[in-house]
Structure 1
Amino acid sequence: MILVVKPQTPEDALHHLIKDIEATGLHTHLSRGEEVTIIGLIGDKTKIDLTAIESNPIVDKMIPVTESYKLANKKFHPQPTEFAVKDTKIGPDNITIMSGPCAVESEEQLLTIARAVKKEGATILRGGAYKPRTSPYSFQGLEEDGLRYMQTASKETGLATICEVTSAHAVASAFKYVDMLQVGARNMQNFELLKEVGKTGMPVLLKRGLCATIDEWLNAAEYIMSSGSSKVALCERGIRTYETSTRNTLDLSAVCVLKERTHLPVIVDPSHATGVRSFVEPLAKAAIACGADGLMIEVHNDPAHALSDGPQSLDFDLFASVMEGLKPYISLAGRTL
């Protein structure tokens, strides 16, 4: 349920109404726009006299919200969300570039890649320390050592850092070293993990599950937000279809749908979506045209010998070329790097 507040409502009257609502056990979410102020009601509506609320002199109208996700809902928060990750911002005015290796392999490797991606305009260094792999015999990541290398690279280059977490233990470790947590596609509906991630209050990147609907994805974001973190970005990374020409099928229409349904920033990962490095640039351009707020692009110093996802990783020269090719699209979209 949403309450639209009348213009020029005194602050004391507004806060008095919020206090009365919360006294019933409901939670409220106040959102102030340039022209409209709204109060979102979250919880069991049977506990409150909606008729009395609607008749309150400062309430202009009540709007029911049928979607199960509330905090992530654009109806609750009409303005696009922007938040900082260290010194970079994710939001509607710029295109945020997250780049780095799929897996952290060594300190030297990560530092080399961090310097290269920063030079071309990336502001967030991605790197996997915990790798949930299809095969139990594949490289599983360096875990806390990898996190330490991420911290070292951040201190040297000034880049913010993001790393995927796969368990409560990984969350506790990553909290000490990186600036943003990532929940991967395989864990999108690991609700206990989502709660642990939310409790940190850290910025979070939530990737779409392999076969998840957009509503399921937004409800997963709701788990994080209702647990304490309001700084959530959604990442479209391709979904599983019958097509075998690419690793997954990049659903760019999801960007458009999300822009209508949620205020949360949307990041697109063309690397994991396709699994083919030559497809990264055209789909990155298309993502910007669709309204994405950022891109996650895998970069490796030696893709042919990468321990994870080499075929989709760009080398330094190709990454530089892709970044140069994106600049006109970023400008046309009215964004900046």
Structure 2
Amino acid sequence: MIVVMKPEAPAEEIDRLSAEFREMGLTPEKIVGKHKTVVGLVGETAEMDALQLQDLSPWIEQVLRVEKPYKRVSKEYRHGEPSEVVVPTPNGPVTFSAFAPLVVVAGPCSVENETMIVETARRVKAAGAKFLRGGAFKPRTSPYAFQGHGESALELLQAAKDATGLGIITEVMDAADLEKICEVTDIVQVGARNMQNFSLLKKVGAQDKPVLLKRGMSATIDEWLMAAEYILAAGNPNVILCERGIRTFDNQYARNTLDLAVIPVLRSLTHLPIMIDPSHGTGKSEYVPSMAMAAIAAGTDSLMIEVHPNPSKALSDGPQSLTPERFDRLMQELSIIGNAVNRWEANPVPVLA
């Protein structure tokens, strides 16, 4: 259930009500929005009378039931207001939200060596990216494929961070690695293959770094949102949902089917920010620009794009990676769409060469 307070409700009254809810055996969670304060009630509320709860205070505007199986993730839980995930980085805080400018995340699938990752970081930053993505631990379908350099790659990500001030996103595969990953990364990524690793979700939910949750390869939207609920239920409200393509019956022409319809669907169901990954979503670099532009037009809050200095020699996912030069041009193209929908950072539209 959620308790919507009147805009002028005093903080003391909200605290008093929260204490009363705790005495009822509920867990109250205060959510301060741009226009109203909402108190989410977690616990056994099925038998509770909403009208009786509303009588507890004249400062209560409305009491509503959340009918969805995912409670904290649901749009109703924040009374329809999109949430903001604010991530501190050396270059300053970056906000992922429907209220904020589009955030671009870019970098290679895997961290290969220091020269490569630092130079790539410099290039994507110069083009306008706010975060560097790079895999240290890589889940691969084949046990013989490159699995990432592991802990040593985290040191290389730190070197790229020191050189550029970019925020870092990297994936956690094993809860045993979470602490050392959190020493370097600014956002912890849970990949598609681990979307329903509920033990791992609880662990990343118990730490305070924001979490990027990728949709599973065959996951329904409800399954994806329930996975996000695990993270929020463990105490971490800072979750970004990333669509990276799903498996359908036709993979002859593209690696996956990029589900851009998920953007308006998620907007109707959840308050969480949305990211689109057109690189994994298509698997082919020539398709990435079109899908990136379409994602902005559809209303995404963020993009994740793979960039590698020499895709033909990449140790993983080379065919879907853009060169730095192509990424430069893409950012110019994206700025035109971004400015048209008022989601681009306040800069003049560059002239395309």
Task: Tell me, yes or no, whether TM beats 0.5.
Answer: yes
Distance across 2 between alignment mates of 1:118 and 1:217: 31
The answer to whether residue 285 in structure 2 is matched with residue 277 in structure 1 is: yes
- 1:8 aligns with 8
How does the TM-score come out when normalised to structure 2?
0.92
* Of 152, 155, 166, the match for 1:145: 152
Q: CA deviation at 1:13?
A: 2.3
**Who is 2:82 aligned against?**
80
Answer yes or no: is the 8 Å Cα contact 2:105–2:304 preserved in 1: yes
- Residue 61 of structure 2 aligns to a residue whose secondary structure is strand
1:21 and 1:48 in contact (8 A); partners too:
no
Consecutive unaligned residues in structure 1, runs of 5 or more: none
- Residue of structure 2 in register with 1:194 after alignment: 201
In structure 2, the residue matched to 1:104 is 111
**2-side partners of 1:19 and 1:332: how far apart?**
47
**8 A Cα contact 2:100 2:343, kept in partner:** yes
The answer to whether the aligner puts 1:256 opposite 2:270 as a matched pair is no
Q: Superposed, which structure 2 residues align to 1:116-265 within 5 Å?
A: 116-244=123-251, 245-265=253-273
Check whether the contact 1:25–1:47 (CA below 8 A) recurs between aligned residues: no
| TM-score (norm: length of structure 1) | 0.96
What displacement does 1:79 show?
2.1
Q: 1:154 to 1:137 in 2, by over 3 A?
A: same
Give the aligned partner of residue 323 of structure 1: 331
Contact 1:101–1:127 (8 Å) recurs in 2:
yes
**Amino acid across the alignment from 1:83:** V
Deviation of 1:312 after TM superposition, in Å, equals: 0.3
Letter of the 1:64 partner, please give it.
R
Shift of 1:49: 6.4
Give the distance between the partners of 1:317 and 1:70, measured in 2 at CA. 44
The Cα shift of 1:67 comes to: 0.7
CA RMSD of aligned residues (A): 1.5
Alignment-derived partner of residue 32 in structure 2: 32
Aligned position for 2:69: 68
Contact 1:183-1:206 within 8 A present in 2 as well: yes
Question: Contact 2:50–2:63 (CA<8 Å) still a contact in 1?
Answer: no
Q: CA deviation at 1:50?
A: 5.0
Tell me how far apart the structure 2 counterparts of residues 210 and 73 of structure 1 sit (CA, whole Å). Answer: 22
Structure 2 residue runs of 5 or longer lacking an equivalent are 346-353
Residues of 1 paired with 2:13 and 2:118: CA distance?
Answer: 55
Q: Is the 8 A contact 2:85 2:240 kept in 1?
A: no
Matches within 5 A, 1:294-313: 294-313=302-321
CA displacement 1:59-97 (0-9 Å, x = unmatched)? 333211111112211111132222222122222321111
Q: Deviation of residue 43 (structure 1)? A: 1.3
Report the alpha carbon displacement of residue 163 of structure 1 after superposing the two structures with TM: 0.2
Per the TM alignment, residue 102 of structure 1 is displaced from its structure 2 partner at its CA by: 0.2
Match of 2:95 among 51, 69, 89: 89
Give the whole-Å Cα distance in 2 for the aligned partners of 1:303 and 1:329.
26
Structure 1 residue 22: deviation in Å? 1.4
